[in-house]
Copies of this chain bind each other. A is one copy, B any other.
Amino acid sequence: MNKKPVNGMRDIMPDEMRLRAYVLGVIRETYRDFGFTEIETPCVESIENLSGKQGGENEKLTFKIMKRGEKLDIEHAEKEMDLVDSGLRYDLTVPLSRFYANHQADLPKPFKALQIGPVWRAERPQKGRFRQFYQCDIDIFGDPSNLAETELILAMCTVLTKIGFKDLVIRINDRRILKAMAVYSGLPEESWEEVFIALDKLDKIGEDGVSAELLSLGMTEDAVAKYMAMFRTAEGEHGADAVSRIADTLGDALDPKVTENMRQIFTLVESAKDVPFELAFDPTLVRGMGYYTGPIFEIAVPEFGSSVGGGGRYDEMVGRFAGQPTPACGFSIGFERIITILLEHGFMIPGTKEKTALLMEKGLSLEKTADVLKLAAKLRAEGKQVLTASMIKNRKFQKEQLQAEGYTDIRDFYENPIER
């Protein structure tokens, strides 16, 4: 028997679980107040759905599940796909699209979904990244208007503010702007995905690094110079005006509806927001998933460096399940990242109940034991969290552990208290 968790996964200890439960509570309640309804899909999806090219690189990381019974024919199996029929989901977006296609007749329209649950990716294990982790997504199906983007931004910023984060920055771009910039610069369409992957590294390798990488991909010097110059066009500005300036440069390469849509999102978000955050246009924002079709966003807490969530519009995915296209837009919170930040900064869970421990000597009479249990019930009725437990031999160790767990009131019960 193996007492370690499987490679790349981990056990979660009580302290962290308390924090997770608290944060999940805030997320659930806040999103519910915004009219999102929670749904759940199985952790297991059929293998077709996990290998249909929706998930890009993630599909290669799928944990696959063996066929069972008569369907499993090891002798004649030639390749992996002969042996498997399903796998663990690598994200919540593919299952949600399947869910919506399956149940849309019974769902409100537009449908505002909240999903929280584990996903699995067989990545090479590394510090702080695990093969099972929670995702926490909100999605709006059936609303083609930018009310969807606006609401997702407002709801997500409200959640993060309630959790305790400050100075939130939402960077926003649009896949169609990304593409128009590539068109305008004369970068050939077949290389766009590679170009965007290079651009995505701007933070890490700088402008020169990106230029060098684009050249090494075989782009012409002219095209690269024209492309990189464009990002400077909007430098220093991050609002709707920056969008307009880029749009002016792009001219016919960009549909004016895209510019107007982005301007409207800025207007709506700025006038309706009731928690503080900054919405910033960032023409260098790429986001990995190929399924995005319109606005894309990423949310960061500058104090903690990295992104804590992101999302975008993906109007085509549901159609692959449902047959008919359905507008869809979603936002995912980096739940594990948030928990890590809160743990590292010693976050205190607000409004925790007073914790009392009632410890009983070994061999305490039935009568006195019953009295202690009755006392525990009484204290619980008064709103306290009450642990009753047998004393162990190492009483000092037991008390220290209870104090570390937050028990401020620890009481001992002996058969003959006076003798002690």
Contacts and interface: CB of A to CB of B under 8 A. Distances in A.
A120 to B, nearest CB: 7
A163 B52 CA distance: 43
B3 A321 contact: yes
Nearest to A147: B390
A14 interface: yes
Interface residues of A, number: 108
The copy count of this chain in the complex is: 2
Interface string A359-400: 010100011011001101100110011111110100001100
A405 B65 contact: no
A227 B88 CA distance: 49
A118 B43 CA distance: 9
Given A108-B402, A374-B271, A392-B109, A35 B3 contact: no
Interface in A69-115: 72, 74, 77-80, 83-86, 88, 98-99, 101-103, 106-110, 112
Interface stretch (A4-12, A202-210, A248-256): A4-12
A37 interface: yes
A48 interface: yes
Contacts of A120: 43-44
Contact of A110 (B11, B68, B385, B392): B392
B3 A101 contact: yes
A79 B74 contact: yes
B38 A14 contact: yes
A298 to B, nearest CB: 22
| Main SS class of interface, A | mixed
A80 B84 contact: no
Interface in A161-195: none
A348 interface: no
A106 B38 contact: no
A122 interface: yes
Contacts of A384: 33
A6 B45 contact: yes
Contact of A389 (B68, B85, B110): B110
A340 to B, nearest CB: 16
12 contacts: A5-B41, A33-B384, A34-B386, A43-B118, A63-B65, A63-B66, A68-B122, A108-B401, A109-B392, A142-B392, A147-B388, A147-B390
Ranked 5 nearest A-B pairs via Cβ: A35-B387, A272-B373, A9-B42, A14-B37, A271-B370
